Amino acid sequence: MMEVMISAVASQPPQATVNAEQLTLLPTPTVNVRFALSKSTRERGLRHVAEIRQQLAERIEVRQVAA
């Protein structure tokens, strides 16, 4: 399943290793509290992803029929 992500990278010198943190629609116990999404937000996001996937599938089907 596709995840929605927003990266937050701390300011560090270019030589330092950068640790990225992400927002995700999938619940995981290791998500930092500041990146945790509510259940309703997660469900709404997952519904939206499903709608987009359906639209893309319909477009692909139309192109295949037209070809």
Q: Tens of pLDDT along 38-66?
A: 889 989 999 999 999 999 999 999 999 99
Report if residue 60 sits inside a domain.
yes
Question: How many angstroms separate the CA atoms of 42 and 22, rounded?
Answer: 14
Q: Count Cα atoms within 13 angstroms, Cβ side, for 61.
A: 6
**By residue range, what is the domain housing residue 67?**
38-67
DSSP structure string for 1-67: -------EE----TTSPPPEE---SS--TTS-GGG---HHHHHHHHHHHHHHHHHHHHHHHHHHHH-
Taken as a whole, the chain contains a residue count of: 67
Task: Give the pair of three-digit tokens for residue 4.
Answer: 């929605």
When divided into structural domains, the chain yields a total of 1
pLDDT digits (tens, 9 = 90+) for 21-40: 656 666 666 767 777 788 89
Domain assignment of residue 6, yes or no:
no
Does residue 14 lie within any of the structural domains?
no
Domain membership of residue 43 (yes or no) is: yes
